[in-house]
Structure 1
Amino acid sequence: MRFLLGALTATGIFLIDTFTMLQSSVATLYILVLVAIGDLVTSRAISSAAAACAGLTLVSFGMNHGMDPGAGALLRLVVSVTAIVLAAALIARGNTLRLSTAKALRASEAKYRDIFDTLAVAIWEHDFRAVKAEIQALRAGGVTDLRSYLVDHPEFVIKTRRMVQITDANETALRLLHIPTKEQFFSNLAGFLPETDESFAECLIALDEGWPIFESKAQVRTATGNPVDIIVALTFPPGGRGLDRIYGSILDITERKRIEGVLDRTRAELDRATRAAAGSELSATLAHEINQPLSAVRTYTDAAGRWLSRRPPNIDEALDAVNHAADAAAKAGEIITRVRRFLSKSAHERTPMTVDLVIRSGVDLVQGQIAATATTLVLNLRAGAARVCGDKALVQQLLLNLIDNALQAMDQHGAEQPRLLVETRCESGSVYVTVSDNGPGFAREACDRAFEAFFTTREGSMGLGLTMCRSIAERHDGSIRIDRSRLERGAAVEVRLPALPAE
């Protein structure tokens, strides 16, 4: 049609230029012919059309002016031909630029189409225009709280879900939903999003409130009906524009959820194993802690028996031994009580106590063990009236564990003159208790692991004594350490407990 229009235009211009007496450059109107067909033909065709127009101009000039034209006529001829040539050149250049731009655009579209189709993330394109119109109609109808409206009217969510058109999808999306071709892809969101889905309601809120990005976990159905767990992210353009091309990025998390399930089961199994190990450790700890007072009970009852078997029997000494045995038995009862409180998560009794007095009463419980090993006990208690706040039985148990470790270490390595020193001092707002001996001490490689549960260098030991000591010290906001300056020259363990302000 445009070629016919161009031909008719050229004919009309030729007739006007040839058979009228107009004294103007009518031939410049041939540019209209070039413009009419310029974007339909190649640059070579434009050059041919320009040559034809220039030829018609020369024919008209010859028929009007013959062999003796005037200067004005020659000038008009030159202007007309020059205009036609320049117009043709500009149109040809424009065509070249247009064609190269179109080629680059096609290449770019092909490139990004390849990227779109080969991405590892599934992508499909949504058209939300109809949904936006429905929400605007609700607003116009007086709905002010869309979130509450969606809760009360789930049918609106189902209706709008069916209105979301799927206009494109990449190859990863096809594989995700087990669809062979794009033509067979679901036409709307309701095709693969179950009606039980709760994420789309939040998507409607995001669309209404103008969120730039909406992300949610969801579950979709494949073409075969199998569920797939996904994370979906939609990007909404500002101002509600471009709702006909809303891209959704979809990440398949089915495998991740499977692994999470495996991890959850593994954690449950580990928890059961940990509880079993904790029960075993608790049993070992309980046996270790009760062993000391029970040993004292046996020592004192044996002593009472010896006093009573004398002739005459020494009733006073026997009663004294029985009283010490009763104290040790009471100590065992206190340990059981505290274990019960621990298991029931009850709070330990925390009361102010004078450290030096607690140490003196604790030492009385192991006097028999000290005597049995011929150990010299030296008390250098210089904390005076300094007090700490805590559980008296636990603090005393800490001291007894340290003394028991020292006595066993010296006895096992055959110290000729075993000597046990218990010292206290008050310094910088803390009370320090040091228990030292002249046994083999700590080897350097064992020093760093001494407080680990079940680590021991003594045959037959469960390795729980120092672990319990650290637990008790930390429970009282204190600390415990080994004096490294005395490694392999006897052991020295120092406990620090925060002191109460002086009254």
Structure 2
Amino acid sequence: MTRSSSLIAPQPLASERMPLGVTPDSAACWEVDLSAMRALVDRVAAGGDWTGWVAALLHGARIIDVNARGLELVGSPVARDSMIGQPVASFCPPESWAILAELIVAVASDRPDHAVQSRGINSFMFRNAVLTVWGAPGDARPDIVWVAVDGEMADDRSFWSVRASEQRYRRLIHHLPGALLQVDARPMGAAFYQLRSEGVTDIRAYLDAHPDLVDHACQVVRVTDANGGAAALFGVAGVADLVGPVEYIFALAPDTARRVTTAHFEGRRSVVELMKLKTFDGRVIDAELTVTFPTPPESLDITLLTIEDVTERLRTEAELRQLQADYARASRIVTLGELASSIAHEVNQPLAAIAMNADTSLRWLSREEPNLDKVRQLNARIAESARHASDIVQRIRGMASRHLPEPVPVDFNAVIEQAMLFICHEVEARAIRLSVTLDIGVPRVLGDRVQLQQVIVNLLVNALQAVAPRGFGEGRIALATGKAPDGAVFFTIHDNGPGIAEADLPRIFDGFFTTKPDGMGIGLELCQSIIAAHGGTISASNAAEGGAVFRISIPPVEA
């Protein structure tokens, strides 16, 4: 490459020119001509405010000489001809532009007081990198400065290999189908440093008292780059439309902005949030936001935001939950049908009591001297029986109703007791011995009462059907609850029926698998899905003394 005639003739980069602290053999050094930028340097030094002066200075400042170490960073000694006469910006990573420009202005504008300026920088080439700028003694060459970077080499890659890798990375990111935004969150880093120096440690409490800090964050934290996927997601013509404050991302999700701010202050590496997002073309979508914060020695000006449109996924999940609820309801109705005789008997008991007490009350009233005290007592019994009948109907309606799961802290022992009411007549009618051992010390579990009740009823009905055709001896069913060593609440049901065939054990919870001639094979599969949705497990085995054992384990509500 031919040098521009305006460049000052280069002189060798002699080691004696290097200031104290710069190691000649390890420092990469460049001689830089500022003559074309003298007016800009003077203007900035005088306090002039000009947007973009950093980039203008480093693109106008030209390299006129480089030492061997600087050539090694570029790739090879033959790179010298391609480097001479080029802008400094071509060989300085953008994350260091601001620091280099400030040091150049300080050195070039006020000699000898600012003859040497140094500052630590983040560098992908060096560990503990130090950037140093100095000028010639006196006013011998006022438009010439020397720039050196010194430190321990991070690896043996050259500047160009790293830059080529970076360009490949950028091309890859820009062509990813997902939405990716690059954000500069450093302004909040400075704000957080100030808060910590003032003794703030609980950022949540501070944001309660100063909610405007989140608004400030949304204004000073800026999107600096984005890919095509982000442009498509937000409905804009190009990524340039997305560059600017991040407030448009959190316009419909101030709580998300608060949680992201909290995560940043607390030094978390990443945070994932579901949020509502309004696009530039007016759509409102459900989005999953992932924020990844940088940690030293990474470039602190690069925080990555990935955004996924999950509107269809959430809609599909809601429809799936509705289908599962309908499926569970259908299974409950089938179970209630199997228990129709027990339900009829249970309802008939309070109705018969009501009829009998009403007839007796009428007889007492028909006497010449009505016994009002006796009538009052009978009416109280009628009211009690009516409430009992109402409770039975409500319990049946609860089992048959259509509803989405409502997880709340529930007493698992109470769920079992309520489920037993559905089969108590069957137990009595078949003379089955039912033993119940409930641990009153078990903690509550987080679950849906109707769904858990459905699981217990299904297992009880299966146990009843297993012991019914014994034809000899006594049918027995044992229920028990307790607390496992890991803190989980467990429930076991053990019958003395024929047990489960060993070949069927691996498939016992498969959908539509059944050993009953008239079975549908949905009961146990549904039980497993309900327990899994509660974060628990269900298993089946054969007891050594005979019969089948089903065991349910559910984490306590504290977990």
TM above 0.5, one fold? no
Q: Computing the radius of gyration over CA atoms, which structure comes out larger, 1 or 2?
A: 1
Which structure has more helix as a fraction of its residues?
1
Structure 1 length-normalised TM: 0.43
Structure 2 length-normalised TM: 0.39
